[in-house]
Amino acid sequence: MVRIATFNVNSVKARLPNLLAWLKAEAPDVVLLQEIKCVDEAFPALEIEDLGYQVAVHGQKTYNGVAILSRLPLEDITPRLPGATGSEDDQPDAQARYIEALVDGKIRVCCLYLPNGNPISEDRKFGYKLRWMDKLVDRARILLETEPDLPVVIAGDYNVCPTDDDVYDPKGWADDALCRPESRQRFRALLHMGYTDAIRAVTKAPGVYTFWDYQAGAWQKDHGLRIDHLLLNPAAADKLANAGVDRKPRGEQKASDHTPTWVELTLD
């Protein structure tokens, strides 16, 4: 059994005590982190390695930044979205939002932090998000075509609520970039080409959330959104044993505004 979790930590330095406590308590085999908000050199690798994890980081100053933690060997590490360009600031790979790696030679994991996209009136925000999603769809298709028998997990903070069941107030959020049809259409493109939304494969219940804003008592009122997702290619979906959201970290002191989401695959 291999357990893979995704967790937007909203600064790995500010969240280090919470992250270390959660790693000790849950000991997932692989953890995909988003919004580490630091350069590679500032990533607290020693503390995490002490818990038995190997670390692959794609950092950036102040904003964004992603990382993969693994108790199993990592190889084939690619700290960018393959196929995307990044020389200009408006190009999909200009920001540190993607890293992928092969775990123990048997699972490819892709860790992403998709652009938020608000406000939808600004092309440098919403247009950037949609172009970034187009590049992700391209990459997802290439992975299906080139290694269909290798389990692949594409997970992270998608900044997309796939349906109104994933939003506490669908009418209030209808014109937000997280809920717009253009964002949802691109998310569905991933499902239509053969990827499985792991949470939706184990429950059809509405109101499963992974993010609660810091403002206005959103956590206390359960005013949440489901925007952190684990998508499985058919080879991985065949091995799906369970999936869920771990709400406990969101209730701790100094919590991130996101909480971990996980999947278990029956692989040796």
Contact residues for DNA (CB under 7 A)? 10-11, 13-15, 37-38, 61-63, 115-116, 118, 125, 159, 214-216, 254
What is the rounded CA–CA span in Å between residue 197 and residue 138? 18
**Structure token digits, residue 235:** 């080879």
Judged by CB, which is closer to DNA: 141, or 223? 223
Instruction: Tell me, yes or no, if 228 is annotated catalytic.
Output: no
Closest separation in Å from C-beta 169 to DNA = 12
Which of these, 74, 118, 68, 112, lies nearest to 93 by C-alpha position?
A: 112
Q: How far is the CB of 89 from DNA (least distance, A)?
A: 10
Nearer to DNA by C-beta: 113 or 262?
113
In angstroms, give the least distance from the CB of 84 to DNA. Answer: 17
* Nearer CB in complex with DNA: 106/214: 214
With CA atoms as reference, report the closest residue to 76 among 48, 46, 109, 51. 109
Instruction: List CB contacts of 39: < 8 A, sequence separation 6 or more.
Output: 59, 60, 61, 65
Which residue among the candidates 113, 128, 158, 168 is catalytic per the annotation? 113
54 strand-pairing partners: 70
Closest separation between CB of residue 237 and DNA, Å?
A: 28
113 catalytic, yes or no?
yes
In the numeric block, which tokens belong to residue 249?
Answer: 């970290």
Nearer to DNA, 91 or 116 (CB): 116
The bridge status of strand 240-245 relative to strand 211-212 is: unpaired
**CA-CA distance, 252 to 54, in Å (whole number)?**
26
Q: Which residues are catalytic?
A: 113, 157
